[in-house]
Structure 1
Amino acid sequence: MIDAGPISGWPPARRGPLIKICGITTPALADAAVAAGADMVGIVHFPPSPRHLAIDAAAAVAEAVRGRATIVALTVDADDATLMPFIDAVRPDALQLHGKEPPARVAALSARTGLPMAKALGVATADDLAAASLYDALLVIDAKPPKGADRPGGHGKRFDWSLLTALDPSRPFMLSGGLDPASVGEAARFVRPYAVDVSSGVETNGVKDAAKMAAFVEAVRTASAAEGITA
Structure 2
Amino acid sequence: MPKPEYRNPSSHSSAILHDASLHPLLHSFLACTSPSLKICGVTNPAEADQLAQLGIDALGINFWPESRRYCPLNTAREFLPSLQDRILRVGVFVNAEPDLPRSLLSSGLIDVAQFHGDEDLAYCNAFAQEGLPFFKAIGVEHADDLSTASRYHANGILLDAHAPGVYGGTGRVIDWKMVAGFIGEQSTPPVILAGGITPENAAEALLTSRACALDVASGAESSPGTKDFSKVSSLLETVCSLRDNAD
Task: Tell me if both proteins adopt one fold, taking TM over 0.5 as the criterion.
Answer: yes
Aligned position for 1:132 = 149
Pick from 98, 105, 109: which aligns with 2:127?
109
Aligned position for 2:232 = 213
Aligned partner of 1:144: which letter? H
SS at match of 2:27: coil
**1:127 Cα shift?**
1.3
Aligned partner of 1:129: which letter? L
Where do residues 9-24 of structure 1 align in structure 2 (5 Å cutoff)? 9=22, 10-12=26-28, 13=31, 16-24=34-42
Gap regions ≥5 residues in structure 2? 1-7
Q: Does 1:153 align with 2:168?
A: yes
TM-score normalized with structure 1 length? 0.87
Gap regions ≥5 residues in structure 1? none
Distance 1:60 1:89 in 2: 14
Pick from 98, 108, 120: which aligns with 1:80?
98
Change over 3 Å in CA distance of 1:93–1:107 after alignment to 2? same
Aligned partner of 2:52: which letter? V
Pick from 29, 54, 75: which aligns with 1:36?
54
Q: Does 1:163 align with 2:181?
A: no
Change over 3 Å in CA distance of 1:103–1:58 after alignment to 2? same
Pick from 39, 43, 54: which aligns with 1:25?
43
Aligned partner of 1:160: which letter? D
Contact in 1 for aligned 2:39/2:56 (Cα 8 Å) = yes
TM-score normalized with structure 2 length? 0.82
Contact in 1 for aligned 2:177/2:208 (Cα 8 Å) = no
Pick from 44, 61, 69: which aligns with 2:79?
61
Contact in 1 for aligned 2:101/2:113 (Cα 8 Å) = no
SS at match of 2:43: coil
SS at match of 1:224: helix
Q: Does 1:222 align with 2:238?
A: no
Aligned partner of 2:59: which letter? V
Aligned position for 2:70 = 52
Cα offsets for 1:148-184 (capped at 9, x unmatched): x4x3111111111122244252522001110011111
**1:73 Cα shift?**
0.6
**1:47 Cα shift?**
0.8
Q: Once structures 1 and 2 are overlaid, which stretch shifts more, 85-94 or 69-78?
A: 85-94
Query: What do you get for the CA RMSD once the two structures are aligned?
Result: 2.2
Aligned position for 2:4 = none
Cα offsets for 1:178-204 (capped at 9, x unmatched): 001111111222222111101111000
Change over 3 Å in CA distance of 1:15–1:168 after alignment to 2? closer
Contact in 2 for aligned 1:75/1:97 (Cα 8 Å) = yes
Aligned length: 224
**1:56 Cα shift?**
1.0
**1:3 Cα shift?**
7.7
Contact in 2 for aligned 1:42/1:71 (Cα 8 Å) = yes
Pick from 153, 177, 196: which aligns with 2:214?
196
**1:86 Cα shift?**
4.7
**1:21 Cα shift?**
0.7
